[in-house]
Amino acid sequence: MELTTIYERIDANRQHMLDLWQELVNADCGSYNKAGVDAVGKRVAAFLEENGMTVRFHTCETRGNLLIAEYGDMTKPFVLFVGHLDTVFKDGTAAERPFTIRDGKAYGPGVLDMKGGIVIALYVMKLLKEWGYAKYPIKLILAGDEEVGHAGSDAVAVIQEESKGAVAAFNFETGFMDNSVVIERKGAFHAAIDVAGIGAHAGNNPKDGRSAIREMAHKILAMEALTDFDMGNTVNVGVISGGTVANAVPEHCRATVDVRFTSTEWGRQYMEKIKEIVEHSYVDGTTGTMNVPFWFNAMSRLDGTMKLLERVNAIMHQEGFAPVTAKSVGGGSDSAYTTSVGVPTLCAMGVQGAGNHTVHEWADIESLFTRTKMMTAIMMHL
């Protein structure tokens, strides 16, 4: 059988693919809704099992379970498919603005990030199986808590362990309209910083007070001064609150900081520097504490990834697809953890669109089918 036969099968399955996409988008599965994420995981598992794959779950106590599906003889070098089941949207969003198609675009929560990508991965596996493909075993990993950086689960360790032995990884995250794929991503962490000062009446005994806001102001300037745009490392104090009334020296101030870094090593150094600033008192009598609710490694650019990109473009040329270009971006993904164990990884292989994490999120319908064809071609020729 030829590849064109698979392309025909994809065309014949258009409605089924759209139906599955709709079903996945219309299920609330924000990262904090474990039951919702698990339900989506079960639906995906049912599809995979019906189509002859083996599925197991790594159970997470408070977050959505992580799905692992396997196709073929896993003792051999395998190809890894990666993605996530959760979205950033709260419960009720699916009912508020369900999956809709308008002018060739699909709308709905997670339609782009990354329910469309899941449908691509599932149909590539299904159609390759029907075709009798045996060149590489395939392992699919879908995390249940990617959007919160796996805080509160051991998903990172599981992804790293399960990735070992893969010859290549493809992450079906949000695709870009300019047909670029992602070869490196910045890492990120958030730090929540609390400053405790000493409250006092602003009129009667202001000298007894120690302003938590004044202390935080010093800290903000010191932290943001760490930004190095040339290096690509940035510190942004995005949220601040403090004080209660104008006529009191403020006793408390809180700020939340977003730090982006180009290598995981840089991230660790920034963490240390910020900790120093938090622990240093610019205003005597104040104390600072911090915690880090969110951390994402950087996805580093591997030589193997650049070779994989070259190979993919040779296949794109041979099969008559437009070439893909390479891009570095500031947002994180689980590709950080496949590359951290040395697996060449191309990210952003999912449906194409824009507006991630917003009510404007949309995906190009045609890209669902084109990218499924692209990915089957890659698997055939890799």
Residue 15 or 358 with smaller CB distance to Zn ion: 358
Site for Zn ion in 159-178 (CB under 5 A): 173
Among 86, 113, 145, 364, binds Zn ion (CB under 5 A): 113
Is 364 a binding residue for Zn ion by CB under 5 A? The answer is no
According to DSSP, residue 321 is labeled P
Residue 94 or 200 with smaller CB distance to Zn ion: 94
Kindly state the tokens that stand for 267.
């991230």
Tell me the closest approach of the beta carbon of residue 236 to Zn ion, in angstroms.
Answer: 21
Tell me the closest approach of the beta carbon of residue 66 to Zn ion, in angstroms.
Answer: 15
State the Cα–Cα distance between residues 362 and 121, nearest whole angstrom. Answer: 19
Is 184 a binding residue for Zn ion by CB under 5 A? The answer is no
- The residue whose two tokens read 């996805």 is 299
Residue 185 or 219 with smaller CB distance to Zn ion: 185
Query: Which residue is at the shortest CB distance from Zn ion?
Result: 113
Strands 200-201 and 325-329, bridge-based pairing: unpaired
Residue 286 or 335 with smaller CB distance to Zn ion: 335
Tell me the closest approach of the beta carbon of residue 347 to Zn ion, in angstroms.
Answer: 10
Kindly state the tokens that stand for 366.
């045609």
Tell me the closest approach of the beta carbon of residue 117 to Zn ion, in angstroms.
Answer: 8
Tell me the closest approach of the beta carbon of residue 268 to Zn ion, in angstroms.
Answer: 24
- Judged by CB under 5 A, the stretch of 112-120, 123-131, 200-208, 324-332 that binds Zn ion is 112-120
Beta bridge partners, 259, equal 189, 235
Can you tell me whether residue 130 is helix, strand or coil? helix
| Number of residues binding to Zn ion, judged by CB under 5 A | 3
Tell me the closest approach of the beta carbon of residue 97 to Zn ion, in angstroms.
Answer: 18
How long is the chain? 382
**DSSP string of 131-166?**
HT--SS-EEEEEEE-GGGTTTTS-HHHHHHHHHTTE
Q: What number of other Cβ atoms are within 10 A of residue 9's Cβ?
A: 18
CA distances for 350 relative to 118, 132, 151, 214, angstroms: 8, 24, 24, 47
Residue 215 or 334 with smaller CB distance to Zn ion: 334
Residue 141 or 278 with smaller CB distance to Zn ion: 141
Can you tell me whether residue 375 is helix, strand or coil? helix
Residue 148 or 312 with smaller CB distance to Zn ion: 148
Among 6, 114, 302, 324, binds Zn ion (CB under 5 A): 114
Chain-centre distance for alpha carbon 162: 18
Contact partners, residue 324, CB within 8 Å, separation at least 6: 179, 180, 181, 309, 312, 313, 316
According to DSSP, residue 114 is labeled I
Residue 162 or 334 with smaller CB distance to Zn ion: 334
- Judged by CB under 5 A, the stretch of 32-40, 88-96, 109-117, 300-308 that binds Zn ion is 109-117
Site for Zn ion, rule CB under 5 A = 113-114, 173
